[in-house]
Structure formats: C-alpha cells, structure tokens
Amino acid sequence: MQQNVDLQPLNSFGLPARARWFCAVDTLDTLQQALQFARVQALPVLVLGGGSNILLREDFPGLVLHMQLRGLQVLEDDGDTVRVQVACGENWHAFVSECLAQGWHGLENLALIPGSVGAAPIQNIGAYGVEAGERIESVLVWNRDTSAVEQIAAADCEFAYRDSVFKRQYRDSRIILHVVFRLQRHAALNLSYSTLAQALAGQQPVTPQAVFDAVCRIRRSRLPDPAELGNAGSFFKNPVVSAACHRELQQRFGDVPGHAVDAGAEAPVKLPAAWLIERAGWKGRRLAQAGVYEKQALVLVNHGGARAQDVVDLAQAIMADVRKQFGIALEPEVQWVPAPQGEDARDC
C-alpha cells in the first residue's frame, strides 16, 4: 500500500493525476486485503488496468487498485475448440499474438488494441468487424458484496456496442480477475469490414497471420502510439440513428456514410463519429495542449503538457458543434473519472 502515487505514467493520455492511496494487485489475497483497508477507511475505490480507456479528470481521493494478475491456462483443447483462461493483468495485444502463435483463432481482428485483458469485457472492445464478447465464454470476478469469486457467463454479461454489465450495474460491485475465451483451431476469418477486406484484396490464401498483419498495418497508419503521443484511442462512440434520420442527413449533406445495424428497410444506422467530427471542422484542431489527431478525427491527443480540463473542454466543444450542425449527440467511449455531473452530463 502506497500513498500519494503519481498516476501520470499509468494512463495512456499521460494526464497528471495522483492517487491518495495505491495498491498493485498481483494476487487475490492482496486484493482482499486492499478492499478491507478501503472499507475500514471508508475510501472510494478505482480499479485501473492498462489505463488506455480512461480520462482522469482530477486526483483520486481514495484507493487505486492497479490490477496486475498474470497467467494463461488452457482449460480444454479438443483439436477444434480451445478454451483458455487469461488473467486480467495480461497485455491484450501480447495475448492476441500468443493466440496466433498457438493456432488459436478468432481474435486476429482485435490486434494492437492497447490495454489489458481485464478491460476487454468491460468495454466489449471491438475492431474490424469483431467484438471481444463474441469470443468470451465467461468472466471470473471478485464480488465485493459477497466477498467471493463469481463466474459470470457471457450470456449474462449483456455485451453490446462498447458496453456490458461491468460498465453499468456491476461497475462498483465486481472486479474482473480472469476472462475465459472460446477460440477455434480451424480459422473462420471475418473480413466483413471493408477497410480490412480492401487491405487483403488479391492476397491468397488469406490466413489468420495475414489478417493480424493487415490489422496492425492499418492501425499503425491511422492511430498514434500512446507511448509517443498521449491518447486513449477512440474517444467517442459511433452514434446510432434512425433510418429516417440518416436519409435526412443525406439530403442535407450528400453521401453520409453509415451501415444498418440489423436487417430491414428501416433498420437503425450506425454513423462514423469520425466523419461527423471531421465534417464539423475539428480534424487536426487544438485547444490549449489537447487536440484532434490529424490522421483520425475520432482520437483526441495530448500534444504535451495537457491537463484533464484541456481534454474535457475539447471534447465538449466537439460535442456541441456536432449537435449544432447535425442534431446528433456524441457519447464518449472513454470513461471519465469522476463521471460527468451537472453541466458536463448534458453533453455526455
């Protein structure tokens, strides 16, 4: 247990913040002792993984638990299906790379996403046509209400677009310890995402390694490395609008990109937030030391020395402009700590 710990190296935005109390959790026993300490001291608790999807708006007045559990265990391998249990503190991209090396397929499209394995089910991370929830069988958690380990089946995780029970009703009561994935020995590649399909056009045969390599190339060409330019990845969710709203936008602005989220002529349409932000004139712009990345309008970056309020001001200005120009409310994908209240909440 440590006091007054600097959190700037532990969040990928590189924003200054400190923890009143801090504990690196590498065993279940450590976790239990730390939570007991927090109960006795009546401290709020913040669970921190890779720090890649978080906006620390101020110093944290309670206990920060930095989850560092490690380990990977094959639970079953029948030659077709592999069930593998991975600790929350394992690096996500390293885990995806290990799966590829072992011939366990299904996660290739999620290569190079920053962060830890424990964050995958919380956010239901996704990229290039695949979401982590499609490959998760169950999640092992510490239930703070019962002080016991609990296994939650994927069906009960309520996985949705960048969402799960761990962001809502279980946010403060469950701490993810391990994630069980169900992967395949025989590749069933997902090339539904047009950008990925184009990158692999003419390549035969298309292998899991080829998909992995293509995803890495695409991400490196479009997204900044947090080690070089502080950021939290995609800052906003892609908004979903009605088919009628999409038609109206096309009448006003021409060819507005989007794709139906399910079957049917009047199915809701998911719009790319990056297109809205760029069309609103924000791509490459800066406010103070925070800015919109010049190659990808969905990413807000720390140009060096930015404070949390710089990022908040930039995000709110973007949301206000998009709402004014398109009548669409953008929702942050990045988790704000503390969560927005009052004036902030109106734009979030």
Active site residue 219: no
Active site residue 58: no
The tokens describing 122, both together, are 């919380």
Cα separations (Å) of 287 from 73, 136, 284? 46, 39, 10
Please tell me which residue in 90, 131, 137, 333 is annotated as part of the active site.
Answer: 333
Please tell me which residue in 162, 174, 182, 219 is annotated as part of the active site.
Answer: 162
Phi, psi of 16 (to 5 degrees): -70, 130
- Rounded to 10 deg, the angle between the 92-102 and 208-222 helix axes is 160
Angle at 95 between CA 292 and CA 127, to 5 degrees: 40
Active site residue 252: no
Q: Where are the beta strands (DSSP E) in the chain?
A: 2-6, 18-25, 45-48, 54-56, 60-67, 72-77, 81-87, 126-127, 130-131, 136-143, 148-153, 174-184, 230-234, 240-241, 259-260, 269-270, 286-287, 290-292, 299-302, 335-337
The residues assigned a catalytic role are 162, 234, 333
